[in-house]
Chain A
């Protein structure tokens, strides 16, 4: 079997819908003027709403049209030339590929210049949060057990207690979720324990999810004992709202992936000035010193927590390696073999 070309393959893989975009959520925040800033994002509406409100405080004339979609659909929407003014995504690799392949516009301002080098690339892509991947556990399921702090601990625990964990382990479906795929491939690169953990999980009839929030929901109501590779920022937000101390966040001590949420101005953007102003605001917030009342962490917050000194996933051409169709096919084959053993 030969593969006709990267773009075609990625497009086929990325979206099942050609022109009708699969929008998960959408809202228009009307402003006083005629201008509409069209933002496409993977960030849930309620998470991003404070940022929109802060932006409209400064620029009340700009209406904001906010669409939420999965990272892969967002990716192919931009590639196909759907007109958006700003694309915000947690899938760094897809965002990077867009920038590399010329689907992003250059933007430069005093605010973006203050971003550290690792948080921007060629003035095309800007990171404004750094968010760790964490594990969320249900306290009830873990009663009487030592809490795992490394993947090694977790492998032992899962292997020793198949009764407790069968059907109660959740993780991203890396075939569907761009972020899940990014986390999985980066773990593959960084730790030997990744495939052994997958093997062990595979024997426990794991459940696959598209999104962090659903996984956390299922942990909260006890359907899942643990959710592996959940976005730390979402988990924290959710835990803060949750009554009754049912869940806990665990960060792996041996290695933690840190994802950068990035924004690009697509090449087709029309309201580039407003999009630039939004990037400036996000960049300024990204460098804030106090945590403040924002749902997403700043660039520095996670860094300080990072005891082992793993930096965030690097914004660079290496991100495109796992997006290569051959590599992707090989990776997914291995992943399926490990995860679907029955």
Chain B
């Protein structure tokens, strides 16, 4: 599986990008607005100052007169400490003020116009207004210009811009935090489904019955359908195996009977030897077929198994009784140490599991030895331990032994299919228990434990 960047990472990055863009945009806008607002404030004051001066324009004995009102300049001081320049021209000639102020744009009479320029190396903002004054015979156009440096405006605007920048950064971080939270929240159902699927046992193919957001319903449906199909196909193959095993077993039994009859009637030792080998091979095949059948049974039953209250002591007693004859054939003594331990489970399955384990123990034990079966109990668990004097479990990873058709490395010469421990392990898993495999402490023999939760 190739892993691309996770959805949550991708979403968080995308949202962070959007937040960054919005932050930048809002900062730019606030900065622009601040500049505009402070510029307008300065313009308004300049306009007021200019108009105040223009209002004092009058004509006296054919000459244009004016009196700079104190307030006209005092008001310019109100907003910022900016340098002030002014000029009054009448009919193109300088009446008073700074003659080298830059030219201003022409506006209509009585209309205040604004210009930006530079004076003595400093950027300035100028407001001008023109008025007609009757000087002598002709009306004369008099223009009043008041200018101010823009330091104050710049300082206020950059201060606001800085504030806006800080706010934008804060906004960005809050937005990213919220995005991460939102992404995590909206991806939670998906993660929950993933967790639910991965929590399931290997053979649990029941459909997922969970409440899920509408967006995830198709995924869930598809998943359930897939599991359904998988379930069906597994069952079909199990059916096939069971059927096959069953069909093989009956003819094998016939072959074995015929072989035994032949064995009795044949005198030639070589022939006898050959027939015995044949019987042995038939036994091996029949046993394998039996276990395949067992395995199929276990697979069926675990899907719909019983949950009865069982005493493990009873289970052990019955199973031990069933394998007793086989053990006796090889002079193997079965020693049971039993206490009462109630579990919830399926008697048939547990019997199947335990008999497979006992089968193994008997099979691998040398003749005339003892296989011990203990039932022990802790607070939450019951344990059936089966210890033998056989060759042990070998050096391979112990867990691998529960895989299907896997046999230990030191099983040479002994009949086996490699399914026994797999069956036991499946049964225990269906009971929420586990199979524990270990070599005994003295290094001789194996100890297999069936661990089950107490009811």
Contacts and interface: CB of A to CB of B under 8 A. Distances in A.
A325 B68 CA distance: 10
Interface string A173-193: 000000000000000010000
Interface string A83-107: 0000000000000000111100000
Is the interface on chain B under 10, 10 to 19, 20 to 34, or 35 or more residues?
A: 20 to 34
Interface in A289-341: 314, 316-321, 324-327, 330
A115 to B, nearest CB: 13
A3 interface: yes
Contacts of A6: 96-99
A255 interface: no
A189 B84 contact: no
A23 B233 CA distance: 118
B67 A327 contact: yes
Contact of B67 (A99, A101, A189, A330): A330
A5 interface: yes
B94 A4 contact: yes
A209 interface: no
Contacts of A108: none
Given A189-B70, A320-B73, A326 B120 contact: no
A324 B96 CA distance: 7
Nearest to B88: A326
Interface stretch (B74-82, B343-351, B420-428): B74-82
A324 B68 contact: yes
A97 B77 CA distance: 14
A161 interface: no
A2 B77 contact: no
A317 B97 contact: no
Contacts of B66: 326
Nearest to B90: A2
Given A4-B94, A326-B67, A317 B73 contact: yes
Nearest to B146: A317
Interface string B102-136: 00000000000000000010100000000000000
A316 B67 contact: no
A314 B70 CA distance: 12
Interface centre among A5, A102, A318 (most CB of B within 10 A): A318
B65 interface: yes
B93 interface: yes
Contacts of A316: 73-74, 76-77
Nearest to B152: A122
A3 B70 contact: no
A43 B150 CA distance: 35
A318 B97 contact: no
Nearest to A2: B93
A228 interface: no
A308 to B, nearest CB: 20
Interface string A53-76: 000000000000000000000000
B205 interface: no
A51 interface: no
A208 interface: no
B74 to A, nearest CB: 4
A4 B94 CA distance: 7
Contacts of B81: 121-122
Q: Which 4 pairs across A and B sit closest by C-beta, in order of nearness?
A: A316-B77, A318-B74, A317-B84, A318-B73
26 contacts: A1-B63, A3-B95, A5-B97, A5-B98, A6-B98, A6-B99, A100-B83, A100-B85, A102-B120, A102-B122, A121-B81, A122-B81, A314-B74, A316-B74, A316-B76, A317-B76, A318-B74, A318-B77, A319-B73, A320-B73, A321-B68, A321-B73, A325-B96, A326-B66, A330-B65, A330-B67
Interface of A: 1-7, 99-102, 121-122, 189, 314, 316-321, 324-327, 330
Interface of B: 63, 65-74, 76-77, 81, 83-85, 93-99, 120, 122, 151
Given A3-B95, A316-B73, A318-B70, 8 more contacts: A2-B94, A5-B99, A102-B83, A321-B69, A321-B70, A324-B97, A326-B65, A330-B65
